[in-house]
Structure 1
Amino acid sequence: MDINKITAISAIVFGLAGMAAPLTYAQDMQGSVAYMNGGIGAGEQAKLRESAKDYNLRLLFSEAKDGAYVSNVKLDVADHHGKSVFSLPNAGPMTNLKLPKGDYEITAVYNGVKKTSKVSVGEKPVSLSLNWAHQDN
């Protein structure tokens, strides 16, 4: 059985075990970026933190001054040429990625507000927090 089938089966089995807010373990369609996504609830957060050592980019999405975690973030990761190498329509609140070494631009959209950040990924893990603070108009 190839890795994509094993990964898909694992994601389905794990998703069924935690129907309320499944933690996602998967590999993107191109097969080059392994990731974990979830973090709703203390149990999922602990699993994501425990496995973070296996990923070189750790993303955390929050809002407001209190840093309340958010999900349903549209996430896109582009390489230094601007080519999308990973996207997830409903990321968060915690997303761990295993990317090839290089420079990337992270684009995250939550409630219609876009945030971008550039990161360099190498041997040491990089953590990035994106916060959507409430703004008065």
Structure 2
Amino acid sequence: MMTGNKLAAGLLALGLALGATGAFAQAAAPQYMNGGIGEGEQDAIKAAAKDYNLHLLFAQNNGEYISDVKLEISDAKGATLLTLPSAGPMTNVKLPAAKYKVAATYKGQTKEQQVTVSEGKTSNLSWRWDGAGK
């Protein structure tokens, strides 16, 4: 038979274990690097690219890089993992291996792509806009 102290200690341990499980269930926002305006920033992002497994590039159809892209990355269940209100022209993200939906909005035009991030591999996505909203 458990005494009051042992029962309380057991319930406390159970509560801590459940609390820890809940804390680990909430994933932290993924690491990312964003920028690329100017040669210096582009060089820095390219140099660090090896540390990230998802590389994103935003441009207009004429090849001109763009920023001010609203970026949203969601997991397969639809939970938003990362939102950047002003991404681009280059964004590198570090994600666990899984399937994701990446939505990019520029001047009111949203484009979506599905991507599978695999262990030990790099995924590259790029978007081009035709000057939407001008």
- TM bin, normalised by shorter chain, reads 0.7 to 0.9
Greater than 6 Å deviation, 4+ residue runs: none
In 1: Cα distance, 2:73 partner to 2:87 partner: 12
* 1:44 and 2:36 matched: no
- Alignment RMSD, CA only? 1.2
Identity in percent = 47
Gaps of 5+ in 2: 1-26
Runs of 5+ in structure 1 lacking a partner? 1-29
**2:102 counterpart of 1:106:** yes
Q: CA deviation at 1:98?
A: 0.2
What amino acid sits opposite 2:43 in the alignment? A
Deviation at 1:134, TM superposition (A): 4.0
Which structure is higher in helix share? 2
Within the candidate set 64, 75, 82, 2:78 is matched to 82
Distance 1:85 1:71 in 2: 20
Query: What secondary structure is seen at the aligned counterpart in 2 of 1:50?
Result: helix
Q: Secondary structure at the match of 1:128?
A: strand
| CA shift for structure 1 position 57 | 0.2
Query: Structure 1 residue 67 and structure 2 residue 63: aligned?
Result: yes
Q: Please, what TM-score do these two structures have when normalized by structure 1? A: 0.73
Q: Paired residue for 2:22?
A: none
Question: 5 Å matches for 1:18-29?
Answer: none
TM-score, normalised to structure 2, is 0.75
| Secondary structure of 1:59's aligned partner | strand
Match of 1:132 in 2: 129
Amino acid corresponding to residue 130 of structure 1 in structure 2: W
Q: Which digits, 9 at most, give the CA deviation of each residue in 1:65-102, with x for residues without a partner?
A: x2110000000001011111111000000000001110
